[in-house]
Amino acid sequence: MSDIPVIDLSQAPGERAAWDRPAWQVYLWAIFELIFITNPWQISSGLRIRVLRAFGADIGHGVVFRPRTRVKFPWKLHIGDRSWIGEGVWFHNQDHVHVGHDVVISQETFITTGSHRHRVDMALVTRPVVIHEGAWITSRCMVVGGTTVGRSALIQPMSVVSGDIGAAEVWGGVPARRVGTRFEGLRQ
């Protein structure tokens, strides 16, 4: 077993590479996130959105942002009009997350844009996530960096999603696979 390498984590490049802001601003955000965003009290969605916007989030009109949510870096979050962000959603957005208009991201979903160079030096690697208009990411899903979810696509509960999901496709499972079409059989 001694011939299997181990990466010395003390030599791994730090997370600060994704900050894009001075340390004081990142730390100040952590305080505001705890008080106004992650807080489980049913304070107004509007107040949450105002705080996120004050720290650089690009959030459209009519967005509902439920309690117990987390946002790593609000300046890398973009949400279109009338979208719903469910309770406990976590945007671990070390890269940009783009959410279109009329998107639903349901309870406890985890969206992460970061990973690590696991074979080399554990350096942070980030890729954006794009969720197009009308999509529904149901409860307790995981969406990883580099994923694009197409217009009006649906991701079933507890799925792990990576790659490109086509428009109006239904995906589910671990790893998620295409299981159908969202609007199949509807009259046009």
Q: Taking residues 94-115, what's their average pLDDT?
A: 97
Structural domain total, the chain: 1
Q: What is the pLDDT of residues 122-146, one digit of tens each?
A: 888 999 999 999 999 999 999 999 9
Q: How confident is the model at residue 33 (pLDDT cuts 50, 70, 90)?
A: very high
CA 106, CA 64: separation in Å to the nearest integer?
11
Domain assignment present for residue 2? The answer is: no
Q: Is the pLDDT of residue 187 over 60?
A: no
Cβ-in-10-Å burial (0-12, 13-18, 19+) of 184 comes to exposed
Provide the residue range defining the domain that includes 130.
Answer: 21-180
> Residue 1's pLDDT is what?
66
Q: How confident is the model at residue 12 (pLDDT cuts 50, 70, 90)?
A: confident
Domain assignment present for residue 1? The answer is: no
Q: What is the pLDDT of residues 35-58, one digit of tens each?
A: 999 988 877 899 999 999 999 999
Domain assignment present for residue 119? The answer is: yes
> Residue 15's pLDDT is what?
67
Q: What is the mean pLDDT of the chain?
A: 93
Domain assignment present for residue 187? The answer is: no
Q: Taking residues 4-28, what's their average pLDDT?
A: 85
Say which residues have a Cβ less than 8 Å from residue 53's Cβ, sequence separation at least 6.
59, 74
Q: Is the pLDDT of residue 120 over 60?
A: yes
pLDDT over 90 for what percent of the chain?
77
Q: Which of 17, 91, 82 is closest to 55 using CA atoms?
A: 91
Q: How confident is the model at residue 100 (pLDDT cuts 50, 70, 90)?
A: very high
Domain assignment present for residue 13? The answer is: no
Domain assignment present for residue 128? The answer is: yes
Say which residues have a Cβ less than 8 Å from residue 174's Cβ, sequence separation at least 6.
158, 159, 160
Domain assignment present for residue 188? The answer is: no
CA 39, CA 175: separation in Å to the nearest integer?
31
Domain assignment present for residue 104? The answer is: yes
CATH number of the domain enclosing 37: 2.160.10.10
